[in-house]
Homo-oligomer: A and B are copies of this chain.
């Protein structure tokens, strides 16, 4: 379903999500028409879930944080994944092997909003504990 050409296209778009079809085509040695068709297929099939701008959150006034979550024994990760979807501040949700069980990345306007998200999570009654990591500085490979 995804051959090496697809993976090359994906790698290119990972580095530059706004790369033009012509740029990608030159990189992977295919015609622009072929790349256009493959892109449409990768997007339709869900391998490419979307595109996003990488923002320097420290410069637009917000607050970025991670929350580690330990689940109660009988709880399914899917339940918390769905709950987290309903919290708009949560941008990314990871179910991980290790301790903690879950890791979420979020963006809020200020500390009060952060406190609200943490409380919202704890009030679900599905989690044993949380640990919040506030981002002071970061870089993302472009």
Are B60 and A2 interface neighbours, CB within 8 A?
Answer: yes
* Beta-carbon contact of A97 and B53 below 8 Å: no
A53 adjacent to B60 (CB under 8 Å)? no
0/1 interface trace, chain A 93-105, chain B, CB 8 Å (1 if under):
1111111100100
Interface residues of A in 92-135 (CB under 8 A from B): 92-100, 103, 131-135
Tell me how many residues of A have a C-beta within 8 Å of chain B: 54
- A17-50: contact bitstring with B at CB < 8 Å (1 yes, 0 no)? 1100000000000000000000000000011111
Asked if A140 lies at the interface with its beta carbon under 8 angstroms from chain B, I say yes
Extra contacts, 5 of them, besides A50-B140, A88-B141 (Cβ < 8 A), are A10-B60, A16-B50, A65-B96, A98-B132, A99-B131
